[in-house]
Amino acid sequence: MTTTTEAPAVTPVAAPRKLSYVKAFNEGLAQAMREDENVFVAGEDVAGYGGVFRMFDNLLDEFGPRRMIDTPISEAALVGLGVGAAARGLRPVVDLMFMDFIGVCLDQIVNQAAKMKYMFGGALSVPLTITTASGAGLGAAAQHSQSLEAWLAHVPGLKVVMPCDAYTAKGLTVSAIRDDNPVVIMLNKVLLGSAGEVPEEIYGIPLGQAHTARHGSDVTVIALGRMVGEALAAADELAAEGVEIEVIDPRTVQPLDTETMFASVRRTNRVLVVHEAVTFGGLGAEIAAQIQDSVFDYLDAPVLRIGAPFSPVPFSPVLEKAYVPDRARIAQGCRRLLERS
């Protein structure tokens, strides 16, 4: 007789499964590949190496070299390969590694992928998914740290998603691959290792639907990508001061769910838009303009924008930290808005 056999039976509690952002992306991609034989992945070092950010780990083992293709460092040909293959009925996932590299293949994204359906009179679709890593915070300097969502969101025909956590990384990835349009997934480099609860089964998050990450009555903070986490942290800080912040994560910046934002503005009457990209010409300007067009009468203060200064991303950590908006600046912005009226 031993104590272990006499121990009372414990009902196992289904602990929510935590997964890192990058593994959540990887799982969503693998499930989408299992779901549809037409999905393949092409990019630089995606197959043998698994991607420089480990985004494609283990996929070569499961899917083999037919569906996991290492290509030369040739982004224009890589995206073009995806456009041609998509035009012929496949669902390519092409990886651009760092978002900064889109400059060398922008023609294929902007003039080919985005416009083909329209210019061809609707004769075909381009179900192309482009994955890339954006954002500062890794000391990668000005050519490896940008957030260029405004460039892409400006182009009719493209969709752009910015997952803020592991759960959305998986769901938006699945939806992007299932979508019949060219979609760019901007994975945030700083978030790659961050863990969150992620269901094991395959699921999609609708493109073009914003998510209210936190409900509040005093200020609406519309935050893109990694700024969602910073806004939630700012909201915790402000809650201690008795201020309730509503945090809206658009999840998809093109198409942009303005209705959810407008509804929030009608409740809070104050808006702060925050993104990691340079403020000038950024999406904050677009969102602010749309709010003023549609719900101006509900505003108790002008829409406030927070973004990066008009500078390339600096290298030195002290400069980079000053460059990227953070919870403190968001909290300060909310206080400023509340001081008005």
Partner 1 sequence: MQIIKDLHERMVRIRLFETEAGKLMEAGKLPGFLHLYVGQEAVAAGVMAALRDDDQITSTHRGHGHAVAKGVGFREMYAELYGRVTGACLGRGGSMHINDLARGMLGANGIVGAGVPIAVGAAFAARYKGEDSVAVTFFGDGATNIGAWHEGANMAAILGLPVVFVCENNGYAEFTPQSGHMLLTDVADRAAAYGMPSVIVDGMDAVAVHRAAAEAVERARAGAGPMMIEAKTYRYFDHQGVKGLRHPYRSDEEVAEWKARDPIDLLEARAIADGTATRAELDDVWRRTRDEIAEAIAYAEASPLPDPADLLLNVYSG
Evaluate the omega torsion of the peptide bond into residue 163 and state whether it is cis, within 30 degrees of 0. no
- Pairing of the two strands 159-161 and 252-254: antiparallel
3-state SS, residue 188: strand
Q: Which range in 15-23, 47-55, 152-160, 209-217 contacts partner 1 by CB under 8 A?
A: 152-160
The letter for the amino acid at 285 is A
Return the exposure string of 154-188: e unless at least 16 CB atoms fall within 10 Å of the residue's CB, then b.
ebebbbbbbbbbbbbbbbbbbbbbbbebbbbbbbb
The answer to whether the beta carbons of residues 225 and 147 sit under 8 Å apart is: yes
Name the minimum Å distance from CB 42 to partner 1: 8
Q: Is 112 in the site for partner 1 (CB under 8 A)?
A: yes
Q: Is 191 in the site for partner 1 (CB under 8 A)?
A: no
The answer to whether the beta carbons of residues 335 and 306 sit under 8 Å apart is: no
Whole-number Å distance between alpha carbons of 201 and 288: 37
Q: Is 157 in the site for partner 1 (CB under 8 A)?
A: yes
Q: Is 202 in the site for partner 1 (CB under 8 A)?
A: no
Segment 274 to 333, residues that bind partner 1, using CB under 8 A: none
Q: Which range in 13-21, 116-124, 168-176, 234-242 contacts partner 1 by CB under 8 A?
A: 116-124
Q: Calculate the alpha carbon distances from 61 to 54, 64, 215, 326 in Å.
A: 14, 6, 43, 40
How many of the other CB atoms lie within 10 Å of CB of 235? 25
Segment 75 to 104, residues that bind partner 1, using CB under 8 A: 75-90, 92, 104
Name the minimum Å distance from CB 233 to partner 1: 35
Smaller CB distance to partner 1: residue 75 or 95? 75
Name the minimum Å distance from CB 163 to partner 1: 20
Smaller CB distance to partner 1: residue 80 or 229? 80
Among 45, 57, 124, 138, binds partner 1 (CB under 8 A): 124
| Active-site hit among 44, 144, 149, 320 | 144
Whole-number Å distance between alpha carbons of 96 and 318: 28
Note if 154 is an active site residue.
no
3-state SS, residue 219: strand
Name the minimum Å distance from CB 92 to partner 1: 8
Name the minimum Å distance from CB 113 to partner 1: 10
Packing angle between helix 21-35 and helix 59-67, nearest 10 degrees?
50
Note if 75 is an active site residue.
yes
Q: Is 62 in the site for partner 1 (CB under 8 A)?
A: no
Q: Is 228 in the site for partner 1 (CB under 8 A)?
A: no
Smaller CB distance to partner 1: residue 199 or 255? 255
Segment 21 to 60, residues that bind partner 1, using CB under 8 A: 40
Q: Is 239 in the site for partner 1 (CB under 8 A)?
A: no
Per-residue interface string for the shown chain with partner 1, residues 253-282, x marking contact by CB under 8 A: --x---------------------------
- Residue 33: name the closest of 69, 70, 65, 63 by CA: 63
Residues near 288 by beta carbon (within 8 Å), at least 6 away in sequence: 271, 273, 303, 305
* Positions in the binding site for partner 1 (CB under 8 A): 40, 66, 69, 71-72, 74-90, 92, 104, 107-108, 111-112, 116-125, 127, 156-157, 159, 179-181, 255
